[in-house]
Structure 1
Amino acid sequence: MMTDPVFFRARSRLAVADITRLTGAEPIEGLSADIAVERVAPLDQAGEGDLSFLENPHYLPMLATSKAALILISPKFLDRAPKSAPLMVAREPYRAFAQIGIALFPEAARPQSFFGAKGVSPGAVVHPEARLEIGVTVDPGAVIGPRAEIGAGTIIGANAVIGPDVRIGRDCSISANAVIQHSLIGNRVIIHSGACLGQDGFGFSMGPRGHLKVPQVGRVVIQDDVEIGAGTTVDRGANRDTIVGEGTKIDNQVQIGHNVMVGRHCVLVAKVGISGSTVLEDFVVMGGASATVGHIRIGMGAQIAGAANVKDDVPPGARMAGTPAQPLGDFARELALLKRLVKETRVRSDTKNEG
């Protein structure tokens, strides 16, 4: 009989006072200080020893039946919660939940070595001219090229490939089968399985005699605290660097073209496509499967809805939707008008048929 594997085990138990110190959340009056949690779970599945949270009003009915040991709750929902619920009040419950989750399960916060061993595996290939600081972990099958430099605390996963002269900072996680070349990587960067950084940008001089390849001689620069999802590709620049700013979070299967500049703390959801030489200013959010043409600028804090296609510059703070992308209000009015026209056409057609 097969055992049921547990992939993440809590490193410790957190009592009410620990959670207050960690997150600033405050227990409601009468909550026992002896309560402790060692796992996290959704409201409807939580039980003894589990921490859960409530931030979305959609889940309010679950409070009455939840068996969670502790529940983080927003102040705005406190008067709608059962009096008997074991509540701790947090300004941002989801963020507090994340802080506690990291404290309980630090290994889940970034990819780990598959083999749990420190140091360089005998099955890895590390060029003698590569420079690895003390504390680097390299799993079997990984290849590290000449003159590559890797900082302390970084993990290089199984079968990952680190090309010549690549620089990777400290406390990074490079997952299995990732390929990194022609790149400078900052500290605390997470690159998930199958991501490819630094390959050719897609550049050709096209004409009736054929398409002449344009050499791509730029680099990829990934700043500190960036996370890059599985299967994502970041092309190196053609004649300048492709840059991803600090704190930016990139989902799976995103394509970033050559010479693109992504600002700080941007969020790019799955299957986003950013064409060459586009600039995203800080805190831009692009929904799943949205895309841009090349050589445009998306202003600071702008939000692009899922599946939208952006063909022109976007001003700071704008909210855009549709194809071609337009201000969200215009898009909504357009849809409403189209819906009304369809309904009126159907009514006229039905009336004519009855006559």
Structure 2
Amino acid sequence: MEHPGFFERAGPYALSEVATAAGAEIANGADPAVKIDDVRPLFEAGPSHISFIDNKKYLTQLDATKAGACLVIPAIADRVPAGTTALITKQPYHGFARALALFYPAAMQPMVATAGAPPVDPTAVLEAGVMIEPGAVIGREAQIGAGTRIAAGAVIGARVTIGRDCFIGPLATVTHALVGDRVIIHSGVRIGQDGFGFAMGRTGHLKVPQIGRVIIQDDVEIGANTTIDRGALKDTIIGEGSKIDNLVQIGHNVIIGRHCVIVSMCGISGSTELGDFVVMGGQSGTVGHIKIGSGAQVGGASHPTHDVPPGARYFGTPAKPLRESAREQAMIKRLVARDKDSYEDGTPEPEEG
């Protein structure tokens, strides 16, 4: 059976209503009565959906989109393909945030458990052998598989699905998530909170509703006090067998492949993709929207700012291939040693300024 989702969608709305909510103008010749029933990314949108573009690097996706309407800046309104209505605005991302709030009004304060319900909601489905320790809360329509243990003080949100033989540690929270079998989630982990999404502006920053999920596949282990944000429109995904240490931050829309190792205090920015068997060293991190190829290794305290090829070993900030980084470090060391020797020989130090 298909999962019912974590947010109730309002609408459909007439195109004119969506445009008004988004603060946009409908391009000439469009039918303002056309119905729009959801918000989707450019590459997924269909004739009844609205999308947006605010970065020219996605123009190829705009060219191919099947969206019924798209929020665009005036300069690219003529680029919108036939069959898609341009909604013209100087701030497409702001308009997108307002459109999301129109269709998903509850997304800003998602429900975890029903007020006044017992700790284990009567609509939750627990298979035989599930162990619920004192103080745990199980939200409405949650599903928990046989042999899973929910430790004291843990919170399982509404409609969350947890597989068999899992362990959810004390005071952990799991919301907006689908969790596989044999998953270990240690104490204090936070899974499924909204991602860090804001439409920036000179007069303030508009919060963008996050309506995606977190998908955690089989045999994943997640260390204490790690946080994994739910996706904005699509899902945040943790691949089968991956091991995540304590105090790791994983942003919205991140995709982590199978059997990756993410060491403590690592930060992975939104929409980054890791292939299979990637290793991220302690205190490393990435910028958003890059890809780390399968089998790649990123050294401790290193920070890639561009795609990393499969099987590569990168080190430093900004991260570079290991040999290149090592040569640079060796050269700097030789230069420092040479300058030190010259000072000790009586050569006056250069004057500052």
Q: TM-score range by the shorter chain?
A: 0.5 to 0.7
Q: State how 1:1-355 maps to structure 2 within 5 Å.
A: 125-353=119-347
Instruction: Give the drift of 1:318.
Output: 0.3
CA deviation map 1:25-63 (0-9, x unaligned): xxxxxxxxxxxxxxxxxxxxxxxxxxxxxxxxxxxxxxx
Instruction: Give the drift of 1:262.
Output: 0.2
Which runs of 5 or more residues in structure 2 are unaligned? 1-117, 349-353
CA deviation map 1:240-276 (0-9, x unaligned): 0000000000000000000000000000000110000
Paired with 1:325 and 1:256, the residues of 2 have a C-alpha distance of 19
Paired with 2:296 and 2:191, the residues of 1 have a C-alpha distance of 26
Work out which structure has the larger RCO, using CA pairs closer than 8 Å and 6 or more positions apart in sequence: 2
Paired with 2:261 and 2:341, the residues of 1 have a C-alpha distance of 44
Paired with 1:125 and 1:153, the residues of 2 have a C-alpha distance of 19
Paired with 1:332 and 1:209, the residues of 2 have a C-alpha distance of 45
Which runs of 5 or more residues in structure 1 are unaligned? 1-123
Instruction: Give the drift of 1:352.
Output: 2.2
Paired with 2:336 and 2:148, the residues of 1 have a C-alpha distance of 58
Paired with 1:272 and 1:168, the residues of 2 have a C-alpha distance of 25
Paired with 1:312 and 1:208, the residues of 2 have a C-alpha distance of 29
Paired with 1:248 and 1:343, the residues of 2 have a C-alpha distance of 43
Instruction: Give the drift of 1:353.
Output: 4.9
Paired with 2:180 and 2:298, the residues of 1 have a C-alpha distance of 27
CA deviation map 1:74-109 (0-9, x unaligned): xxxxxxxxxxxxxxxxxxxxxxxxxxxxxxxxxxxx
Match of 2:92 in 1: none
* Secondary structure, aligned partner of 1:193: coil
- Percent identity over the alignment? 64
RMSD: 1.2
Q: Which amino acid aligns with 2:284?
A: S
Q: Which amino acid aligns with 2:328?
A: E
Paired with 1:184 and 1:350, the residues of 2 have a C-alpha distance of 65
Paired with 1:224 and 1:279, the residues of 2 have a C-alpha distance of 19
Number of positions where the alignment pairs a residue of Structure 1 with one of Structure 2: 232
Paired with 1:316 and 1:191, the residues of 2 have a C-alpha distance of 29
Q: Which amino acid aligns with 1:146?
A: R
Q: Which amino acid aligns with 1:289?
A: Q
TM-score (norm 1): 0.64
* Secondary structure, aligned partner of 2:344: helix
Paired with 2:324 and 2:307, the residues of 1 have a C-alpha distance of 17
Q: Which amino acid aligns with 1:194?
A: G
Paired with 1:257 and 1:140, the residues of 2 have a C-alpha distance of 31
Paired with 2:347 and 2:275, the residues of 1 have a C-alpha distance of 55
* Secondary structure, aligned partner of 1:207: coil
Q: Which amino acid aligns with 1:207?
A: G
* Secondary structure, aligned partner of 2:346: helix
* Secondary structure, aligned partner of 1:309: coil
TM-score (norm 2): 0.65
